Amino acid sequence: MAEVLNQHIDDFLTWLEVEKRYSPETLRGYGIDLNQFTQFLEDYDVECLAQPDQINRGVIRSFLGHLSGDLDQQPRSVARKLAALKSLFKYMHREGHVTLNIAAYVHTPKLPGVIPSYLSESQIVAVLDKLNASDSWMGKRDLAIVELFYSTGMRISELAGLSTSDLNRRKSTVTVLGKGSKQRVIPVGQYAWEAIDEYQYATKHKFGPQDTHAPLFLGKNGTALGTNGIRQRVKKAIRTIAELKKMSPHILRHTFATHLLNAGADLMALKDLLGHANLSTTQVYTHVQVDKMKQAFKNAHPRADKR
């Protein structure tokens, strides 16, 4: 009986994979967070594992306190784990496994405002220039990866899932499969096309002609380069010119968004390009416009504080 909650979690993760088409990376994150909750219950109240209906707000709050107090986890991590619990309980309530979605009544901890890390225009140019110096087919692949990331702002899972048929050279666009299996079409810049063309030419000489539905980015053995491989290549490229706490490919997504807004792009258009479901998610990038306005005011207004 102690495995009842664990079985519901397994069913929930399967539902996310099959029905919601969540990526393996997202599923792994949900699994880790929910497993941490069941481990907490083994010490706190093992009966809750056998009877999920016994889990109340006090149990969930104690779990959050354990995370932030005993484990010293940051508010953002605690909020993410609570979000996983909310999704799980919503699923269990809909399936009739619990009589009340108790997690919905637990407030998410307040999060500090976080400005995404991004590269300056000179930094991204330096990264691309270094990659452009390589004549190897893998060097040309890495250049095409970074150019396409910076040109489109797509997610790493979207880039890893690309096949050659997703490219539309005539329209200068690429079709990606985003969250929730939603397709979107993103324009691709000329520099990215040139890098892709050189990479595909080199790939043809290395592995022979590729099928139109073959993966776009290949590893050294000619098989698809997965998210981990792409992450490693991007980290290595960025590390050559910048010392940042986070070196993930998401920095290029942030860089894409920041530079577009910096040049006057419309926020709603940026939302669609990034594939955000809500405008509030995109608004995190408006810090660029605020900083520019503050600087312009400070430099130009006769009554601005000059200290």
| pLDDT tens sequence across 123-154 | 999 999 999 988 899 999 999 999 999 999 99
Q: Is 250 a catalytic residue?
A: yes
Reply yes or no on whether the pLDDT at 112 is more than 70: no
Q: Does domain 4-105 have CATH number 1.10.150.130?
A: yes
Diameter over CA atoms, the chain:
74
Reply yes or no on whether the pLDDT at 42 is more than 80: yes
Ranking 21-35, 37-51, 64-78, 80-94 by mean pLDDT, the lowest is 64-78
Reply yes or no on whether the pLDDT at 7 is more than 90: yes
How high is the pLDDT of residue 1? 46
pLDDT tens digits, one per residue of 146-198: 999 999 999 999 999 999 999 999 999 999 998 878 899 999 999 999 999 99
**Region 45-59: what's the mean pLDDT?**
92
Q: Is 57 a catalytic residue?
A: no
SS3 184: strand
**Region 283-296: what's the mean pLDDT?**
67
Percentage of residues in the chain with pLDDT exceeding 90?
A: 60
How high is the pLDDT of residue 297? 67
Ranking 70-79, 94-103, 110-119, 275-284 by mean pLDDT, the lowest is 110-119
Q: Is 170 a catalytic residue?
A: no
Does residue 217 contact residue 154 with C-beta atoms inside 8 Å? no
How high is the pLDDT of residue 287? 64
**Region 75-104: what's the mean pLDDT?**
93
- DSSP secondary structure, 191-247, as one string: HHHHHHHHHHHHHHHHH-PPPTTSBSSB-TTSSB--HHHHHHHHHHHHHTT---S--
Annotated catalytic residue, options 81, 86, 141, 155 = 155
Does 4-105 match 121-293 in CATH topology?
no
Among 202, 193, 249, CA closest to 222? 202
Classify each residue of 265-291 as buried b or exposed e, where b means 16 or more C-beta atoms within 10 Å of its C-beta: eeeeebbebbbbeeeeebeebeebeee
How high is the pLDDT of residue 114? 60
Q: 167: which 2 tokens?
A: 């490219």
Annotated catalytic residue, options 90, 231, 235, 276 = 276
**Cα–Cα dist 30/38, whole Å:** 12
How high is the pLDDT of residue 51? 92
How high is the pLDDT of residue 262? 84
Reply yes or no on whether the pLDDT at 288 is more than 80: no
Annotated catalytic residue, options 8, 86, 233, 253 = 253
Q: Where are the domains of the chain?
A: 4-105, 121-293
**Cα–Cα dist 12/32, whole Å:** 13
Reply yes or no on whether the pLDDT at 89 is more than 80: yes
Q: Is 22 a catalytic residue?
A: no
pLDDT tens digits, one per residue of 224-248: 999 999 999 998 898 877 665 556 7
More confident residue, 291 or 48: 48
Reported as a pLDDT band with limits 50, 70 and 90, residue 21 is confident
Annotated catalytic residue, options 66, 130, 179, 235 = 179
Q: Is 259 a catalytic residue?
A: no
Q: Is 150 a catalytic residue?
A: no
**Region 116-129: what's the mean pLDDT?**
89
Q: What's the mean per-residue pLDDT of the chain?
A: 88
Domain 121-293, CATH among 3.30.70.920, 1.10.443.10, 3.40.50.11290, 1.10.3720.10: 1.10.443.10
Annotated catalytic residue, options 8, 97, 141, 250 = 250
Q: 267: which 2 tokens?
A: 């926020």
